[in-house]
């Protein structure tokens, strides 16, 4: 029985539910990796009835077949925090970076980049990102700083032999241009892949890894599902980007690593492949990209 009053509007009901984490889905037959999550933001801003500590987030994810997490840095503080979490928890590895939308706002970009470079040498840091380009939120006035930051991160990835984790929002052509200019690292991961099948084919041809988030389950994401179809299993990862991009049927509510099975099952259906086989491929790709946990 609903406890909503008749006078309560749909908007009010949606706002009230937005802070509630969804229930755990059916476990996966084979464990997989969450290749991109923000545990710090999830714990601080997520909502109710969900994980309330790093330990709880790891345990809840493990119960549904998500046994490894990549904690992603977006600034100096979150990158430092991620390194500390990865040192304490064997299920977690970290990436470090300045988010492309933050780079133009920093009072001293060079100093921040030096701190990220120092963190990049840490053994539990297994990637450089999320870095990249975003022409959706950053206007022309910030593009030069954003691109300079991206180029610096590419250098860190090559210098330390670690994968580059790219944030690409409405900047496909420019992302490829900068990678070509600088020379791409051995391993490139396009986080929350947002391109169509044509762009996916180009990235696959270059050997890049495409990481799909809950957006692939959205009703309006037909082009993204077509991109997933043309992505080989050994170049495919899955992620939450938690606490954002919660898969359907819980879109709009907080996300966390334990909801990965919803996205994996959607991908298996879209690609018309066996679920257990897809899980095994995702797991193997995660180990190849980020190394042994």
Kindly list the domain boundaries of the chain, sorted by start residue: 28-290
Q: How many CB atoms lie within 10 A of CB 67?
A: 20
191 is in an annotated binding site: yes
By the 10 Å C-beta count (0-12 exposed, 13-18 middle, 19+ buried), 99 is classed as buried
Rounded to the nearest 10°, the torsion over CA 85, 86, 92, 97 is 90
* Residues 26 and 257 sit within 8 Å (Cβ to Cβ): no
Q: Is 32 helix (H, G, I), strand (E, B) or coil?
A: strand
141 is in an annotated binding site: no
Q: Is 273 helix (H, G, I), strand (E, B) or coil?
A: coil
38 is in an annotated binding site: yes
* Per-residue pLDDT tens digits of the chain, which is 293 residues long: 433 333 444 444 444 445 899 999 999 999 999 999 999 999 998 788 889 999 999 999 999 999 999 999 999 999 999 999 999 999 999 999 999 999 999 999 999 999 999 999 999 999 999 999 999 887 778 799 999 999 999 999 999 999 999 999 999 999 999 999 999 999 999 999 999 999 999 999 999 999 999 999 999 999 999 999 999 999 999 999 999 999 999 999 999 999 999 999 999 999 999 999 999 999 999 999 999 88
Cα distance between residue 216 and residue 235, in whole Å: 16
This model's pTM is above 0.75: yes
For domain 28-290, which architecture applies?
Alpha-Beta Barrel (3.20)
130 is in an annotated binding site: yes
Q: Is 127 helix (H, G, I), strand (E, B) or coil?
A: strand
172 is in an annotated binding site: no
């Amino acid at each position: 029985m609903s406890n909503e009053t008749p006078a309560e509007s749909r908007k009010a009901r949606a706002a009230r539910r937005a802070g509630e984490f969804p229930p755990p889905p059916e476990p996966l037959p084979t464990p997989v990796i969450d290749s991109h999550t923000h545990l710090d933001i999830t714990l601080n801003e997520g909502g109710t009835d969900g994980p309330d500590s790093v330990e709880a987030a790891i345990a809840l994810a493990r119960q549904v077949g998500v046994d490894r997490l990549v904690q992603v840095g977006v600034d100096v503080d979150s990158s430092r925090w991620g390194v500390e979490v990865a040192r304490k928890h064997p299920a977690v590895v970290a990436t470090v970076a300045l988010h492309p939308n933050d780079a133009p706002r920093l009072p001293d970009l060079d100093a921040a980049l030096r701190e990220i470079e120092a963190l990049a040498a840490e053994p539990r840091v297994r990637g450089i990102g999320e870095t990249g380009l975003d022409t959706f939120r950053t206007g022309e006035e910030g593009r030069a700083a954003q691109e300079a930051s991206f180029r610096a991160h590419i250098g860190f990835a090559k210098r330390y032999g670690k994968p580059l984790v790219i944030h690409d929002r409405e900047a496909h052509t420019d992302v490829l241009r900068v990678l070509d200019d600088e020379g791409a690292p051995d391993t490139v991961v396009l986080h929350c892949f947002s391109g169509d099948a044509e762009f996916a084919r180009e990235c696959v041809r270059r050997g890049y890894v495409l990481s799909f988030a809950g957006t692939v389950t959205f009703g309006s994401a037909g082009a993204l599902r077509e991109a997933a179809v043309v992505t080989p299993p050994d170049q495919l990862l899955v992620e939450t980007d938690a606490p954002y991009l919660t898969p359907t049927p819980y879109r709009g509510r907080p996300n966390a690593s334990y909801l990965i099975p919803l996205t994996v099952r959607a991908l298996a259906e879209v690609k018309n492949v066996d679920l257990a086989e897809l899980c095994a491929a995702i797991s193997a790709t995660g180990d190849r990209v980020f190394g042994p946990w």
